[in-house]
Structure 1
Amino acid sequence: MAWFDDAPVPPVAPRPAPAPAKPAARAAAPVEAEPAGEDTAWFDDAPMPPPSATPSRSAANAAADASLSEAAPSRLDNAADTAASPSASAPSDLAGVSHAASELASTPVSDEAIAGMDWPALQAAVSTCTRCPLCETRIAAVNGRGAERATWIAIAAAPSAADEQDVQAITGEAGQLLHNMLKAIELKPDDDVYITNLVKCRPPERNPSGDEVIACRPYLERELALTGATMAMTFGQFAAKGLMMGPAARGKVMHYGANQLPVVATYHPDDLLRKPEDKAKAWADLCLAKASHG
């Protein structure tokens, strides 16, 4: 299968030219992609967009302000104490412990609690989330992956069946293709990028509903805050519309949230594996995102 090695590279937004007396600096050579099959190759001979400086990052990860409270209702504590007593062996007491624990586990975590979580608390909350009915049909909730302090965030709509099975966002051939796409614009996927989904649980053979997107939004907001990402790319048509909560389109830089996070939409790697002729358009999107991230 051909991989567009001779495809014309879309123009990248020009940058201010250096003084005439000095020759322009040669762009850094692209990082050689890891060995991959034809389906996950990515524009091996395409010229790179002009490199831009990566914003400086702090020397150590900043701790979150607060973590999820682990205080249980007093009736659970009392029931547990009673069950621990040698004289308390009645089945009704044990049933009380089980019922109270079940109620605690099924209580949806609040937006306010999510906003104060650190990474371990956030990942635990996603894994046990009951904020929407998808918790009743999922095999597993899928947390994001990648750099905990990242300059870029890659956002898909929802986990695929393979993602759910592997409990990992954008996995398999799609994950390898995404890795190569990011390397093609001189990013270090493991160090520079955090990969996640708008909705953490896989909807059964359909796109997520608006209510499901809204239920999961506090998790995404916390991921954005913890990573400190300053550039976002959405992968797939629904991811762009779901993030922007309205019309979204390729070929332009959009802005999200109070911080006006720059967002560029492109194709999901799964779509490119099914329709590789769209890789040229995806390359244009990658170049646009790279050029707009100063």
Structure 2
Amino acid sequence: MISAPDLSAQELSALLHFYADAGVEWLLEDEPVDRIAAFAAAQAERRIAQPQRQAEQSPQAAGSTRQSTSRTAPAPRPAASTGTAVVPDAEAAAAARQAAEGAATLEELKGVLQAFTGCNLKNGARSTVFASGNATSGVMVIGSLPSAEDDRDGTPFSGRQGQLLDKMLAAIGLSRDNTLLTNAVPWRPPGNRTPSPAEIDICRPFIERQIVLAQPKLLLLLGNFAARFFMGEDGTIFSLRGEWREVVIGGNSLPALASFHPQDLLTAPANKPLAWRDLLLFRQRLPI
């Protein structure tokens, strides 16, 4: 068995990052538990209870047990409260729409989003990852979901994928200073799982209000999830990329282009030529 003192600082850091990506929140319980003793006690209880169960299953005992149960059956116990109010999905989505529409500026929307408690994704995330960059640039880059680095730093496109995005933007004359960067969903799902349809419905009003308030002229959608989220199609990024589409947000039609997410390119560098074609196509319509 490997313990922490056996690991180098780099190995321990990698292990902790792995645990965080897997959704592990606590490495130790509040009190030590002797699992071997607990297992032995459970076995002893089963050995003691087995003759009693066999006696109860005999025909004579079964009849008397049914009569006794019918006379003395206790009332069902109420379920224990978990201390967390469960909001139905439809009500949470309606509350999200109302909260988002009440924000008159991006700063107000950020505060509303941080205070919102109607989405399960927020309960497992470290940070509410809001937009960063220039809200008046006319160019909005929207990723899919916050990564582990985004969740840790509270900023979209952090870590290695952010470094690659910086290079992609620089190649067409853009940077974080003249674009607005954000994600379709503001909270990282546990283990990077895909959000459920109900969670998507709850998050949608916030990103749509963000677009309405920023008033971009162009949208660059990065990754499968972001492309499907806005285009309403079930294809892969290979079928959705490389072609301008019109998406309707807040009653307005906006030109949008889908391409590979930087994480996709880190995983499969062979797709970089396709991403470069998309970037060149996007550059052709950049506001001068």
Deviation, 1:240, is 0.3
Note if contact 1:183-1:189 (Cα within 8 Å) is conserved in structure 2.
Answer: no
More helix by share: 2
Alignment of 1:165-244 (within 5 A): 165-191=152-178, 193-205=179-191, 206-244=193-231
CA distance in 2, matches of 1:246, 1:190: 31
Report what 2:110 is aligned to. Answer: 123
CA distance in 2, matches of 1:110, 1:234: 23
Report what 1:285 is aligned to. Answer: 278
Quick check: 1:154 aligned with 2:141? yes
Report what 1:266 is aligned to. Answer: 259
Note if contact 1:158-1:208 (Cα within 8 Å) is conserved in structure 2.
Answer: no
**Structure 1 portions without partners, runs of 5+:** 1-101
From 140, 146, 150, the equivalent of 1:163 is 150
Report what 2:75 is aligned to. Answer: none
SS at match of 1:190: coil
Note if contact 1:169-1:195 (Cα within 8 Å) is conserved in structure 2.
Answer: yes
Identity of aligned residues (%): 34
Residues 210-254 of structure 1 deviation map (CA, whole Å, 9 limit, x = unaligned): 222221111112211221101001111111001222245012111
SS at match of 1:189: coil
Deviation, 1:119, is 2.2
SS at match of 1:277: helix
SS at match of 2:256: strand
- The more displaced of 109-118 and 267-276 is 109-118
Query: Which amino acid in the other structure matches residue 201 of structure 1?
Result: W
CA distance in 1, matches of 2:232, 2:115: 25
Note if contact 2:121-2:188 (Cα within 8 Å) is conserved in structure 1.
Answer: yes
| TM-score where L is the length of structure 2 | 0.61
Note if contact 1:169-1:196 (Cα within 8 Å) is conserved in structure 2.
Answer: yes
Note if contact 1:160-1:202 (Cα within 8 Å) is conserved in structure 2.
Answer: yes
Query: Which amino acid in the other structure matches residue 213 of structure 1?
Result: I
Note if contact 1:127-1:142 (Cα within 8 Å) is conserved in structure 2.
Answer: no
Query: Which amino acid in the other structure matches residue 221 of structure 1?
Result: E
Deviation, 1:140, is 1.8
SS at match of 2:190: coil
Q: Based on CA coordinates, which of the two structures has the bigger radius of gyration?
A: 2
Report what 1:143 is aligned to. Answer: 130
CA distance in 2, matches of 1:119, 1:277: 37
SS at match of 1:251: coil
Query: Which amino acid in the other structure matches residue 269 of structure 1?
Result: P
CA distance in 2, matches of 1:122, 1:213: 18
Deviation, 1:110, is 4.0
Change (3 A) 1:265 1:110: closer
Quick check: 1:250 aligned with 2:237? no
Change (3 A) 1:216 1:150: farther
Deviation, 1:153, is 0.8
Residues 164-196 of structure 1 deviation map (CA, whole Å, 9 limit, x = unaligned): 0111111012112111211211224312x1111
CA distance in 1, matches of 2:285, 2:135: 22
Query: Which amino acid in the other structure matches residue 113 of structure 1?
Result: A
Query: Which amino acid in the other structure matches residue 196 of structure 1?
Result: T
Query: Which amino acid in the other structure matches residue 243 of structure 2?
Result: K
Report what 1:45 is aligned to. Answer: none
Report what 1:39 is aligned to. Answer: none
Query: Which amino acid in the other structure matches residue 200 of structure 1?
Result: P
Deviation, 1:120, is 2.2
CA distance in 2, matches of 1:261, 1:163: 27
Note if contact 2:96-2:203 (Cα within 8 Å) is conserved in structure 1.
Answer: no
SS at match of 2:188: coil
Give RMSD over aligned pairs. Answer: 2.1
